[in-house]
Structure 1
């Protein structure tokens, strides 16, 4: 399947803690080859970012360790 077709049919989801933000969050979707799609819920028509499994894993690991905390 072509990546563009895969992104159109991807199972996008957002964090349950986003609650009633009405779109103020990111959505993620698992893709083939372990890749992950990321898109802004305020602009789902824009092209999403697609990252490799290793990039996604590094991001999640860093987030869990608080590396992105302000």
Structure 2
């Protein structure tokens, strides 16, 4: 599943590399997420509702975007 998806890099990922995640938006009920430095490594999968809650929390400033 992880290699056949159309992946995109998070808009919060910097252009210098480092701590980047990629998200696949092509699944109907889930959102796969992976480390861009390890595209063949493990993938976390979230429900679309859980992912939307996470994105909303980041955009509202509830969660930090950098350490």
Number of matched residues? 64
Contiguous gaps of at least 5 residues in structure 1: none
Q: Alignment partner for residue 8 of structure 1, among 3, 17, 24?
A: 3
Structure 1 stretches of at least 4 aligned residues deviating more than 4 Å after TM superposition: none
- The Cα shift of 1:33 comes to 2.4
The higher radius of gyration belongs to 1
CA contact (8 A) 2:3 2:40 kept: no
Question: Within 1, Cα distance between the matches of 2:14 and 2:29?
Answer: 25
Q: Which of the pair is proportionally richer in helix?
A: 1
TM-score (norm 2): 0.76
Aligned-pair Cα RMSD in Å = 1.9
Is 2:53 aligned against 1:48?
A: no
Shift of 1:9: 1.1
Match of 1:60 in 2: 55
- State TM-score, norm by structure 1: 0.74
